[in-house]
A and B are shown apart, each in its own frame.
Chain A
Amino acid sequence: MLSQLIFLYCALVIISTALLAVRFHNPVYSVLSVLVLFFHIAGLYLLLNAEFLAAIQIIVYAGGILILYLFVLFLVNLRQEIKSQRFVAHHRLSTVVSIILGLSLLAIIPYFKLGAKGNYPVARIEQLTHTKAIAMELYSTFILPFELAGLILLIAVVGGLVLARNDKEETADDVRDSTATATPEVQK
């Protein structure tokens, strides 16, 4: 009963903050509502006994990526965005398209079926602790996709370094700044 109530609360907050993130005129407020959203997603993970995922959700998404978004936002002049009424030209048309998209998403929901049960029921995860369970799966069953993902991220890091690198030494400060801000997202 209590867990259902918490789920309902989290779901409501997730939906409303997601809407707010799109509605706010000030992008900084949008980022903050996404922050609240991430928190409640972490809450949902906690309900599912996935405490490791919940912590990583906050550390990586809220603590890393979202802060980098803020960093970018601060470098943009926000005054014009706050004043402008609409961001898109064909407002009516986009409303119609988005309503159709939303309705079709709702229509799909009844066809949603639960998948087959995995090897990790709640009781086993509780006994094993979630961190250990996820590590064992990641480093045994899914080792190849995991290493591939690591390789892709490494390529992104190297690419970022190449883009940020400047052959002339005169703008050494710029290079330092961009490596400091661009790589953490990829590394985490």
Chain B
Amino acid sequence: MQILILLLQIAMVMAIVLLHVAYLTYFERKIIGHMQVRMGPMRVGWHGLLQPIADGIKSFFKEDIIPQQADKPLFLAAPIICLVTMLAALAVLPFAEGWVLADINIGLLFIFAMSSLASYGIILAGWASNSKYTFLGGMRSMAQVISYEIPMGLSLVGVMMLSGSLNLSEIVAAQGTSIFSIYLFPQIIGFFVFFIAMLAETNRVPFDLPEAETELVSGYITEYSGMRYAMFFMAEYIGMMILASIGTVCFLGGWNGPFVIPFFPPFWFILKVYGFLFVFIWIRATLPRYRYDQLMAIGWKLLIPLALLNIFLTGLFKALVH
């Protein structure tokens, strides 16, 4: 019986998240459209509201093309690896007090583990397609993800030191309910590093070099079509939501807000995640793409030293206070 309830909860979380993915693409197109003084999708439904559903049906019925020279098993497995690891990371996110599928003690590390595994999907897609564009895209993504995982992990060490836990629910609880006790203020350097690393980890503009369309067609997904292409898309957007949730949990106080909303405790959590996602889209509409050596220079020469400095300052602060 307990297993049934858990399965039902998992199905609910997945359904809600996938629905969010669908409408996140809609809002992305709509917001970017309005920022560029266009209307965005308008045709399907009222103001294009049914557009994501039409897109979903279209990609579901499209032909699944496999290149002849591709490494077939890996080519087929790559999008599944991407999507499954991203969905698995959802299990440890606390949406509200007690609203978490798996309340484990290493929640933060689990998310790191899953996001580092998701890069396998991208790398294998790039290699297995046996095409120059996908291969270069895969290589770029690999170097980028490895480089930015380090500042990302280091930037959250400060949060771990302050809260004394890796459990995401306990990190939220440690920040208290007041808006002034959230970790954004003592960990402002950490948040800065985390935010830039977050953009790079999800391959978003201005760090979307793995799929830079002007040079690489569309990078590692060039050879994919139909549902497998959609899987990469979903994985990317779920990755955005997961990192936005991590930012919310670790720096913005999670589900706590100015006042308690009755009947719907995750309200503030969701609102903060939406805020993060809006900034993601806003940045995409605003900034041009970085050059590859600039990307590496920012990661290794700026973010990692800053994150180390942040750890040192946090340790000093803790030592002085106690």
Contact = CB atoms under 8 A, between A and B. Distances in A.
Interface of A: 28, 32, 35, 51-52, 54-56, 58-59, 62-64, 67-68, 70-71, 74, 129-131, 172-173, 176-177, 179-181, 184, 187-188
B286 interface: no
Contacts of A32: 74, 124
Interface of B is mostly: helix
Interface residues of B, number: 33
21 contacts: A28-B71, A28-B74, A35-B120, A54-B106, A55-B110, A58-B116, A59-B113, A59-B153, A63-B113, A63-B117, A67-B123, A67-B146, A68-B146, A71-B139, A74-B138, A172-B293, A173-B293, A180-B143, A180-B146, A180-B299, A184-B147
A180 B141 CA distance: 12
A54 B74 CA distance: 26
B139 to A, nearest CB: 7
Given A70-B127, A187-B150, 11 more contacts: A51-B105, A51-B106, A55-B109, A59-B109, A63-B117, A64-B116, A131-B106, A184-B146, A184-B147, A184-B149, A184-B150
A63 B150 contact: no
Interface of B: 71, 74, 104-106, 109-110, 112-113, 116-117, 119-120, 123-124, 127, 135, 138-139, 142-143, 145-147, 149-150, 153, 166, 293, 296-297, 299-300
A65 to B, nearest CB: 10
Chain A to chain B: the 3 pairs with minimum beta-carbon distance, closest first: A63-B116, A55-B109, A58-B113
Nearest to A183: B300
Contacts of B150: 184, 187-188
Given A67-B146, A70-B123, A184-B147, A130 B116 contact: no
Contacts of B124: 28, 32
A28 B73 CA distance: 12
Given A130-B105, A176-B297, A180-B300, A67 B119 contact: yes
